Amino acid sequence: MDMSGKNMACLHLPVMLAEIVRFFAAGAERRGQVPWRFLDATLGLGGHTEGVLQAIAGAQVLGLDRDGEALALARERLKPFAGAVHFRQSAFAGFTGALDELGWAFVDGVLLDAGVSSLQLDKAARGFSFLRDGPLDMRMDTRQGENATTLVNTAPVKKLQEIIRVYGEDPQAGRIARAITEARAKSPLESTAQLAAVVEKAYPPKWRAMSRNHPATRTFMALRMAVNDEPGQLGMFLERIVPRLAHGGRLAVISFHSLEDRMVKHFFKTAATGCLCPPGLSLCTCGHKASLRLLSKKALEASPEEKERNPRARSAKLRLAERTENAFSLPGGNLPAGSSFRP
Ligand SMILES: C[S@@+](CC[C@H](N)C(=O)[O-])C[C@H]1O[C@@H](n2cnc3c(N)ncnc32)[C@H](O)[C@@H]1O
């Protein structure tokens, strides 16, 4: 298979690519520092990283992804930049370990482009989509963890309801969870088509008629988020990222789910605020200092043309920030390879 960027675009189109590349290129230009170190926490098929490497001479990249198949394709795509990219199959919540292995105390740019890739969604064998019948798997890292078959066939009805209500934001969560437990009592649900049929049947006919999407859309998204602990991963990543961002370093987060965007928004707002004491105190007792400067007041969205071209871009929310103070930066920049620095 030809692994050129053009061909890869058939497998997954990077969202808001021009905006992301411009953002990091401007940051690199301001810092004027070589090497410019970039953490792509969700490398996927490497589309964003390819753009960054084309725009920023001397950039070095650490690309993480849980998905071995995506990493293999990214490796092929990024061959022209051999030596500039380090690949790791890892969950992004564990990014500090990967940075430490390289001896990178700090990075100058970080991108997290959350969720799934079209490659994952479009492959029946991965079990992410009800549009293609396949085994009910949904794991991004097929080496690890409980898959969707186990979750769907063993979780208590209350847990299923909570997952579908909170992650799927589906008002029919109770009915769907009950329908799943009734169906699995007769025989285990093992394929995406089986599960989609159960959910569809659980939906009241009036709702089915009103709904713009297939009734199983939200349930599938919710189960995928639970199987991969997506909000938990995002929370851990956000908690850990600022101390590893160099002074003036830039952070971009793209999310596709309102729950995740709320997490990012809250985190950015808190990190960009100085004192967090309750109003009315005459002296600050919390000692909190702003560690980020927000570079986009509101979440940015893809252009209408991009939304037209790439339906995945319709729900994308992009938030941008820059590291403020120098508290964690060391004179001389990043530590040499092999250093055992811990923040
Ligand atoms: C939207 S795609 C990224 C696409 C990429 N920016 C590109 O240009 O090709 C999201 C990727 O993040 C990966 N991913 C999602 N959650 C992850 C996690 N917690 N840790 C590591 N990778 C994760 C998925 O496997 C998927 O390949």
Q: How many residues does the chain have?
A: 343
pLDDT band at 207 (very low <50, low <70, confident <90, very high): confident
Mean pLDDT, residues 99-117 taken together: 96
Query: ω before 35 within 30° of 0 (cis)?
Result: yes
The pLDDT of residue 177 is: 98
Which atom in ligand 1 lies closest to the alpha carbon of residue 42? 12
Domains 5-118+230-323 and 141-227 share a fold: no
Q: What's the pLDDT tens digit per position in 44-53?
A: 999 999 999 9
In this structure, CATH architecture of domain 5-118+230-323: 3-Layer(aba) Sandwich (3.40)
What backbone phi and psi angles, to 5 degrees, belong to 253? -125, 125
3-class DSSP assignment, residue 221: helix
Ligand 1, residues at Cβ distance < 6 Å: 12, 14, 42, 44-48, 64-67, 70, 91-92, 113, 115-117, 140, 233
Could you tell me the fold of the domain covering 141-227? DNA polymerase; domain 1 (1.10.150)
The neighbour count for residue 277, using CB atoms within 10 Å, is: 14
Q: Tell me the two tokens of residue 115.
A: 């969720």
Collapsing DSSP states into helix, strand and coil, what is residue 109? strand
Report the pLDDT value the prediction gives residue 343, as an integer from 0 to 100: 23
Looking from the CA of residue 233, the nearest atom of ligand 1 is: 19
For ligand 1, atom 27, the nearest C-alpha belongs to 44
Two structure tokens written together for 70: 């995506």
Domain ranges across the chain:
5-118+230-323, 141-227
Place of tokens 């230009």: 29
| Amino acid 6: pLDDT | 64
Strand partners, 214: none
The helix (H) or strand (E) run that includes residue 118 is helix 118-122
CB 49 within 8 A of CB 27: no
Q: Which of 5-19, 200-214, 228-242, 309-323 has the lowest mean pLDDT?
A: 5-19
pLDDT tens for 248-302 read 999 999 999 999 999 999 999 999 999 899 988 888 998 899 999 999 889 999 9
